Amino acid sequence: MREAVIVSTARTGLAKSFRGGFNDTEAPAMGGHVVRAAVERAGIDPAEVDDCIFGAAAQQGTQAYNIGRLCGIAGGLPDTVAGMSIERQCSSGLMSIATAAKSIMCNEYDIAVAGGVESISLVQTKHKNSYRNVSKTVTAVDPTAYMAMLETAEVVSERYAISREAQDAYSLQSQQRTASAQQSGLFDDEIVPMKTVRAVFNKETRETTYEDALVDRDECNRPSTTLADLAALEPVFADGQVIKQGKYITAGNSSQLSDGASACVLMDAGLASRKGLSPLGIYRGLAVAGCKSDEMGIGPMFAVPRLLDRHGLSVDDIGLWELNEAFACQVVYCRDELRIDNERLNVNGGSISIGHP
């Protein structure tokens, strides 16, 4: 079977939703920006691309109408290049890359562009379509299927005894690691600066004005954060299905909402060699696993062992780990239960400090 390799990658900075540099930027504009950059970095003819696959968690509004195809069009791919959209919530972009890789391995594609995009600013608004978005057929089987993510984080914290102190300590570590990475310029090569227009709302006059902006770095890090700051924050969740008053989840130990996009070029390893391209990485495999709806964040607990077992590996064989940081509680639980070395985990921070999704 053929090998699929990543030969280039490009991303925007992650901007704060609603207030940041991308708060008035359409999803295809962000996606197209990174598609164009990734293709240019790979040094290939855009017409060589077989498919453009993009993930987005909320595929409506600016992210509707096959966002994969739209990002390809905006990114300068010719109309001979197909497009596809994938949604698996927070892992939508990751699934797009895995899908492209598997098609390359199976000789369906030679070259693909894959990535993810999210405009929280333009999608999670009063215009979001909520008409009949909760199915009685589903809730009759699983009453917690639509439970809010915040409530699932409270459930995980309570069920698995993940203390508020442990969550705050992990969150501080995330902020500090990202601050260090930014100061050292570790993200600079990843980010393709993007000029855009930012909407500015004046609370006193109730007027909105617009100003030119340049997003050339991640905006969400809070480098001055202290443990005392985190401890002083009040829990944010109340009046849920099972949690009436939250005790654990705060604005400090959960991820920030952000806007941004990322893309990479994948191709057959043999083709990359013939083109003189050095792979940045090789796709080796994927495992998925379901878990209870009310403990959504601990999926890695079930998926990681499957993936390692299939390849005859142990946790200690992996030199670098990245786990979703939507909430500190889920990372702390998965880290400790899987026995992942903290010094190998999210070494440059994660969603808490960089942005999410």
**Tens digit of each residue's pLDDT (9 = 90 or more) over 341-354:** 999 999 999 999 99
Banded model confidence at residue 118, pLDDT cuts 50, 70, 90: very high
Around Cβ 46, how many Cβ atoms within 10 Å?
A: 20
Rounded to the nearest 10 degrees, the angle between the axes of helix 164-183 and helix 328-338 is 100
Does pTM surpass 0.95?
Answer: yes
Q: Is the pLDDT of residue 357 over 90?
A: no
Residue 203: which residues within 8 A CB-CB, separation 6 or more? none
Give the pLDDT score at 285: 97
The whole-number pLDDT of residue 108 equals 98
3-state secondary structure of 7: strand
Q: What is the pLDDT of residues 83-99, one digit of tens each?
A: 999 999 999 999 999 99
- The residue assigned the tokens 């909320």 is 58
pLDDT reported for residue 243: 97
Rounded Cα distance between 32 and 95, Å, is 19
| First and final C-alpha spacing in the chain | 33
Strands 82-86 and 51-55: parallel
Please tell me whether residue 112 adopts helix, strand or coil conformation: strand
The SS3 of residue 354 is helix
- Over 90: is that where the pLDDT of 196 sits? yes
* CA neighbor of 241 nearest in space, from 302, 131, 152: 152
Q: How far apart are CA 112 and CA 82, in angstroms?
A: 10
Segment 276-304 mean pLDDT: 97
For 40-71, what is each residue's pLDDT tens digit? 999 999 999 999 999 999 999 999 999 999 99
What the block records as the tokens of 122 is: 């333009």
Which residue segments constitute the domains of the chain, with CATH numbers given? 1-124+257-284 (3.40.47.10)
